[in-house]
Amino acid sequence: MAAKVKPLRDPNTLSNYNHFITAHTTANFDIQFDKRILVGNVVHQLKSLTNSESKEIILDSSYLDIKDVKVNGQLSKWQLLPRQEPYGNGLKISLDKGVPPGEIAEVEISLQTTKECTALQWLTPAQTSNQKHPYMFSQCQAIHARSIFPCQDTPDVKATFDFNIKSPLPVVASGLPVKDDAGSTSNGLYRFRQKVPIPSYLFAIASGDIADASIGPRSRVATSPEKLEECKWELEADTEKFMQAIDKIIYPYVWGEYNILVLPPSFPYGGMENPVFTFATPSLISKDRQNVDVIAHELSHSWSGNLVTNGSWEHFWLNEGWTTYLERRVRLFISEHGEAYRHFSAIIGWKALADSVERFGADHEFTKLIVDLKGKDPDDAFSSIPYEKGFNFLFHLEHLIGKDKFDRFIPHYFTEFKEKSLDSFEFKSCMIDFFQSDPEATEKLSSLDWDRWFYGPGLPPKPDFDTSLVDAVYELARKWETLGKSSFSPSLSDVEGLTANQLVVFLEQILLWEQSLPVEQSKLLGQVYRLAESSNVEVTNLYYQVGLRAGDESVAEPTSILLGSIGRMKFVRPLYRALEKFNRDTAIATFQKHKDFYHPICRGMVEKDLFGSKANP
Ligand code: BES
Ligand code: ZN
């Protein structure tokens, strides 16, 4: 009799993780820069969940060149199932006999990656900052780990990891370094261990001309040697402060070190919360310490996401909404403005949320907190919605229950689901159970329309944000609206004392107007406020959008240069959209020129935006 098999809650994996689950993975890879591939093998300890009748293991794989498969040391029968877009090929491994429940099958797969690999980017020396050495890095979230090695590529399964990586250049990974007896790394073999179980999407490696420096008692920054000093300056003031703040809000950091790898400019995200080593865009290094919210965010993932994980990408808000909530709590500790700063960030977030809702359409499936991803690619559903609707949900709960009570729930939640994965329904029952002995909170929670929050499309109710940090900026935007019709005459003093993020809000206001700015005024704006000179891409990219919208020819060239120097999708995608509206031929020509510079994920997204049928925010 077969034991009861749980149905799978993750629709984005082909693996049969209801029969076996990965307990430990060892990844042995040789980084071959000349061929742009990883060559080696991966060894999974797969624990049987059912009884001896379970004679088949199916793993996710995508664009891999598989050589052979051994089960418990013996060559085994295997087969790649037909490709199923967007999930890749199931790798079916047939066992001679079943594995009793609780017992381990050791599966060793020899393979190499291919040119089609979606998780790795290989850079020529010319694409790095000092142009001396090649570089490679991985980006596995959401479902790209399967294009590095066959695995149960689902956030619902967690395993410990060993990394044995050979490279002619220094290597960074999402584990703590294991030193040999002499305390060093030898013969180009870099070893790491991740003792905390992690899902496959947190597997990460990078290799290149990388040096590192201390930015705090438990933290280092790693980057290209000649960029080290400026990266250190940007990050050393705040990283440990953030860590101390969140250690208190939840409980102490469990991963040993919190390090940051500042990548070459084609890194497609602002940051990626790889354990032990956050991967970050170099656009963070803006020489004004104004983009450290990204660090507050990625650090917060060390609890939400990395320890307590969404059970499938349909519940992605549990990762990103919680992280955005924590980011804004943590960020308060370095702000002079206290709670008003949290509201300031939330107002910026609301704008991003409203933009995403508008772009998808207010009834769209992807505007819900819980999304249906059956047959879909989670990358296509990606937007600000899980971040900001998720944040607003938690912010609403905090206000509903009261901050003191909510603060007591936070460590409870992160203890309850530590090293586990969960869905929104488990979150709901965890909260209801926690407040069971509190009639007042229970009453409030039972009057909450949970389903509307979970399944209602479009915008949630807008909270009453404290606007004190945006009022001055809104006022300035209003003055620009009446420019020429009032006595307002712009001067640099208008923006002196504003932070880069306040300038962001100002420029976003202008982009919100139904009418674009007249081209002469747009030029004036750039000149008087010296916007194009800002070292902060958050500011320059918005100024270029304002200019393009106004039809200012003079920003087309700098936009194209920017698009060839930064591959972060947050900037690249809106800039291509703006450039396309300005002049489609210019947008296409710019893309053709820079497409090899972009990461495969970014390239694919821009291709969809420019040429595909369906664009998403
Ligand atoms: N985990 C995300 C990045 C991500 C999401 C990669 C989905 C692949 C698929 C990361 O934590 C993130 O949210 N980064 C933001 C930073 C920001 C919100 C402060 C980014 O990249 O802009
Ligand atoms: Zn995040």
Rounded average pLDDT over 453-460? 98
pLDDT above 60 (res 40):
yes
Rounded average pLDDT over 75-88? 98
What phi, psi does 382 have (nearest 5°)?
-60, 130
Q: How confident is the model at residue 350 (pLDDT cuts 50, 70, 90)?
A: very high
576 is catalytic: no
DSSP string for 224-286: -GGGHHHHHHHHHTTHHHHHHHHHHHS----SS--EEEE--TT-SSSEE--SSEEEE-GGG--
User: CB-based contacts of 85: which residues, under 8 Å, 6+ apart?
Assistant: none
Per-residue pLDDT, 6: 79
Rounded average pLDDT over 25-50? 97
- Provide the residue ranges of all domains of the chain, joining segments of one domain with +: 1-118+134-197, 308-455, 471-611
Residue 296 Cα: closest atom of ligand 1: 19
What phi, psi does 237 have (nearest 5°)?
-75, -30
Average pLDDT, the chain: 95
CATH fold of 471-611 reads 1.25.40
**Residue range 308-455 in CATH 1.10.490.10:** no
Rounded average pLDDT over 493-508? 95
Residue 382 alpha carbon to ligand 2 centre in Å:
11
Contact 57, 20 (CB under 8 A): yes
pLDDT above 80 (res 181):
no
Q: Whose CA is nearest to atom 22 of ligand 1?
A: 270
Tell me the per-residue pLDDT of 416-448, one tens digit each, with 9 for 90 and over: 999 999 999 999 999 999 999 999 999 999 999
pLDDT above 70 (res 214):
yes
141 is in an annotated binding site: yes
pLDDT above 60 (res 94):
yes
Rounded average pLDDT over 173-188? 81
**Residue range 1-118+134-197 in CATH 1.10.300.10:** no
Could you give the CA distance from residue 491 to residue 525 in angstroms, rounded to a whole number?
Answer: 9
Per-residue pLDDT, 217: 98
pLDDT above 50 (res 616):
no
Per-residue pLDDT, 183: 56
Per-residue pLDDT, 3: 53
Could you give the CA distance from residue 287 to residue 289 in angstroms, rounded to a whole number?
Answer: 6
Percent of the chain surpassing pLDDT 70: 97
Rounded average pLDDT over 314-322? 98
pLDDT above 60 (res 617):
no
User: Which residues are in the CB-under-5-Å shell of ion ligand 2?
Assistant: 320, 323
Q: Whose CA is nearest to atom 8 of ligand 1?
A: 141
Rounded average pLDDT over 323-338? 92
Residue 583 alpha carbon to ligand 1 centre in Å:
30
Ligand 1 pocket, mutate which of 269, 277, 331, 568 (most atoms under 8 A from CB): 269
Per-residue pLDDT, 225: 97
Tell me the per-residue pLDDT of 542-578, one tens digit each, with 9 for 90 and over: 999 999 999 999 999 999 999 999 999 999 999 999 9
Distances (CA, A) of 164 to 28, 167, 263: 5, 10, 21
Q: Taking the mean position of all CA atoms in its chain, how far away is CA 313?
A: 12
Rounded average pLDDT over 577-583? 97
